[in-house]
Amino acid sequence: MKKIRVLIVDDHASIASGIEKQLNDDRIEVIGSALDSGASLHNTDVLLLDLTMPQSNGVELLSILKNSGYLGKIIVHTSCDDDELISDCKKRGADGYILESTDSDTLKEIIIRVEEGQKIFPN
């Protein structure tokens, strides 16, 4: 079985490290993390994207990635539970939107479902 390759983009190293430890299993492999948007996207299936970073705006980065032909799935992973922001991310091409408070088993399941082609957003 091919593992889903995930790149975490988050400006907090401790958060990225914690997510990496939670996700790595027989279905998901975290291939790296980045403290900002400068990481290589080569060979990623899913990008887990924080929206608030010091050097870039995650919402704008989402648009740039989708408009530049990035073929991987993008899941917004944030603490912002805001209907307008969720709607904006949908319009800009996000494949999913989940809160940082989501438990690790649910996060894994969402990554798998999004990689399979489902769109996952809060109701």
DSSP string, 18-81: HHHHHH-SSSEEEEEEESSTTS--TT-SEEEE-SB-SSSBHHHHHHHHHHTT--SEEEEEES--
β 4-9/28-34 pair status: parallel
What's the whole-number average pLDDT of the chain?
87
pLDDT at residue 96 is higher than 60: yes
Question: CA 103, CA 12: separation in Å to the nearest integer?
Answer: 18
φ, ψ (nearest 5 deg) of residue 53: -130, 150
Look at residue 37 and tell me whether its pLDDT is greater than 80.
no
pLDDT at 36: 47
Q: Which domains does the chain have, with CATH numbers?
A: 4-115 (3.40.50.2300)
Task: Quote the pLDDT of residue 28.
Answer: 95
Question: pLDDT category, 119, cuts 50, 70, 90?
Answer: very high
* Residue 107 in this model has a pLDDT that exceeds 90: yes
Answer yes or no: pTM beyond 0.95: no
Task: Tell me what pLDDT residue 52 has.
Answer: 76
pLDDT tens across 38-83, in order? 556 778 999 999 887 766 678 888 898 889 888 899 999 998 999 9
Tell me the per-residue pLDDT of 8-34, one tens digit each, with 9 for 90 and over: 887 777 677 778 888 989 999 998 877
SS3 category, 82: coil
Contact 61, 86 (CB under 8 A): no
